[in-house]
Amino acid sequence: MTIKTFTFNPFQENTYLVFDETNEAVIIDAGCLQAGEKQILTRFIEDNKLTLKRVLNTHLHLDHQFGNKFLFDTYGIAPEACVEDEFLLENVVAQARSYGFPVTEEAQSLGAYITENQEITFGNSSLKAIHAPGHSPGSMVLYSEKDGVMFAGDVLFQGSIGRTDLPKGDYASLILAINKKLLVLPDSTVVYCGHGPSTTIGYEKKNNPYL
């Protein structure tokens, strides 16, 4: 499994393009907002002769789904996310304007829901969905046991955790999910975060002051 990281939009959100030897690919958290960011993403796909199969969202806060409509318009692939975050697709233009972002089109609707323990497949690879609410009610961590990696969205960061003061956030739920579902995974598991650098489960167990 090959993982290409792009850091997009003013929130410095990490968008992940994941592919394997079959050249089938998925995008996790398409945060591309500006035209140049969208071009960088599509050019990488084209230059590497990748076939985009799915557009996945760990959650649906603005900065993680800015590029969903563009990808649907370009590749005809609708995004997938947890149904519990679907309310975040409402009034996206107004939400964006409140932050001063130049968004003129409403959010792309979901094409499918991601559910707990779902196996998301592409090429010879698969990701298991782990429901980890708290940052948002529908936050999903995408985990590959075979490759020893997870895409944690804004659930877990290097030395920190996701904020819980946004709509329907819940601190107790977040801490419970991290402890019961993520920290039980192998210490060597690499955590690809929604913002900032990657980390490992072992490092966070020893060094994260919030856990």
Bridge partners for 157 per DSSP: 160
- Give the containing element (helix H, strand E) for 179: none
CA dihedral for 30, 91, 73, 84, sign (positive or negative): positive
- Closest among 8, 13, 15, 55 to 33, alpha carbons compared: 8
**Ordered structural domains, the chain, with CATH:** 2-207 (3.60.15.10)
141-191 pLDDT per residue, tens: 999 999 999 999 999 999 999 999 999 999 999 999 999 999 999 999 999
207, 199 contact by CB (below 8 A): no
DSSP H helices, the chain, are: 35-47, 62-65, 68-75, 92-98, 171-177, 201-207
CA distances from 55 to 58, 71, 122, 175 (A): 10, 8, 11, 27
69-82 pLDDT per residue, tens: 999 999 999 999 99
Bridge partners for 131 per DSSP: 140
User: Would the pLDDT of 95 be above 90?
Assistant: no
Q: Side chain identity at 14, as an amino acid letter? A: N
Main-chain dihedrals φ then ψ at residue 142, nearest 5 degrees: -110, 120
User: Would the pLDDT of 99 be above 90?
Assistant: no
Strands 156-157 and 2-8: unpaired
